[in-house]
Chain A
Amino acid sequence: MGARENFTTDAMQYAPQLFATAMRMTRNRADAEDLVQETFLKGWRAFGSYQEGTNLRAWLFRIMTNTFINKYNAQQRRPQESELDDVEELFLFRRMGAFDQSKINQSAEDQMFQLFTDDEVKNAIEALPETFRIPVLLSDVDGFTYKEIAEMLDIPIGTVMSRLHRGRKAMQKMLYEYAKDRGLVDESLLDPQD
């Protein structure tokens, strides 16, 4: 096996993860497919600069993230702080008591898993402005470290942390609103706060 064949085999195993993340980035199947293809083409062309032993997965995600940002002109460097409402800490956790048990037909174990549909989770991520959506995807979905994300996006680690924090809270609020829209929430069950 030559180095290029190794590279091909290794890269292909990440195709499903790259595609799922591309779907959440582009919010569109055709664009997601194009984005992953472009990532592989660029990776293949840049093969000379890829050193065996470096983290191929992170390398591919970095190529994809940068391709997305350049292609869609995502406003990575100047986040619109006003794009996201400030959401209180532990937003969803503090409201779990409002979920009406009688309307949720699941064992206690599956309950939270069934509470939010796949589409709701996907929509909650996709509704985030790109500045927040990309770090959240790279962390929550793809499991990269703060340092890896900071390098991929060329932003300080502290910025990664604050975007994750705000993005996650906004996402929790959206999940709560979706559940509310489906009639799963009875806010009279909530203890009065503070």
Chain B
Amino acid sequence: MADCQETLNELERFLDSELSPVRVAEVIGHLKGCSDCQGAYEFHSELRTIIKTKAQNEDLPKGFLDRLLGCFGDEVLGAD
């Protein structure tokens, strides 16, 4: 059974989905019985969502997609 320090040390890789199934089971097992670590997990999970959502919130410049289509050359319209 993983203790708090081990769990917190692995939290980042857990959130990155980079732990082995055995480690994942250990972390989940600990989180279920420890509200402190569960709180740390929920906080960082939400922070990830916030960062991803806000960092991606970007309007495309006017006409950008059309200009991008121009990168593909004439072959796009003709037969392959």
Q: A residues near B, CB below 8 A?
A: 1-5, 8, 12, 15-17, 19-20, 23-24, 29, 33, 36-37, 40-41, 44, 89-90, 92-93, 96, 112-113, 116-118, 121-122, 125, 137, 139-141, 143, 145-146, 161, 164-165, 168, 171-172
Q: Give the B interface residue count (CB, 8 A).
A: 34
A33 proximity list for chain B (CB < 8 A): 61, 64, 67
Task: Give min CB distance, B1 to chain A, whole Å.
Answer: 21
B80 proximity list for chain A (CB < 8 A): 1-5
Contacts A89-B8, A112-B50, A165-B12 given; does A20 touch B76 at CB 8 Å: no
- CB-contact partner of B50 in A5, A19, A121, A143, under 8 A: A121
- Quick check: A19 and B76 within 8 Å, CB to CB? no
- CB-contact partner of B65 in A3, A12, A90, under 8 A: A12
- CB-contact partner of A29 in B18, B61, B72, under 8 A: B61
Contacts A4-B80, A16-B60, A29-B61 given; does A90 touch B54 at CB 8 Å: no
Looking at chain B's contact residues, the main secondary structure is helix
- Quick check: A121 and B76 within 8 Å, CB to CB? no
B79 proximity list for chain A (CB < 8 A): 2
Contacts A121-B54, A122-B54, A140-B48 given; does A44 touch B69 at CB 8 Å: no
Residues facing A in B1-57 (CB within 8 A) are 8, 12-13, 16-18, 40, 43-44, 46-48, 50-52, 54-57
Which of B46, B58, B69 neighbours the largest number of chain A CB atoms within 10 Å of its CB? B58
Task: Give min CB distance, B60 to chain A, whole Å.
Answer: 6
Task: Give min CB distance, A27 to chain B, whole Å.
Answer: 12
Bound Cα distance A129, B76 (Å) = 39
- Quick check: B71 and A41 within 8 Å, CB to CB? yes
The 3 A-B residue pairs whose C-beta atoms are closest, nearest first, are A2-B80, A121-B54, A40-B71
A16 proximity list for chain B (CB < 8 A): 56, 58, 60
- CB-contact partner of B58 in A19, A140, A146, under 8 A: A19
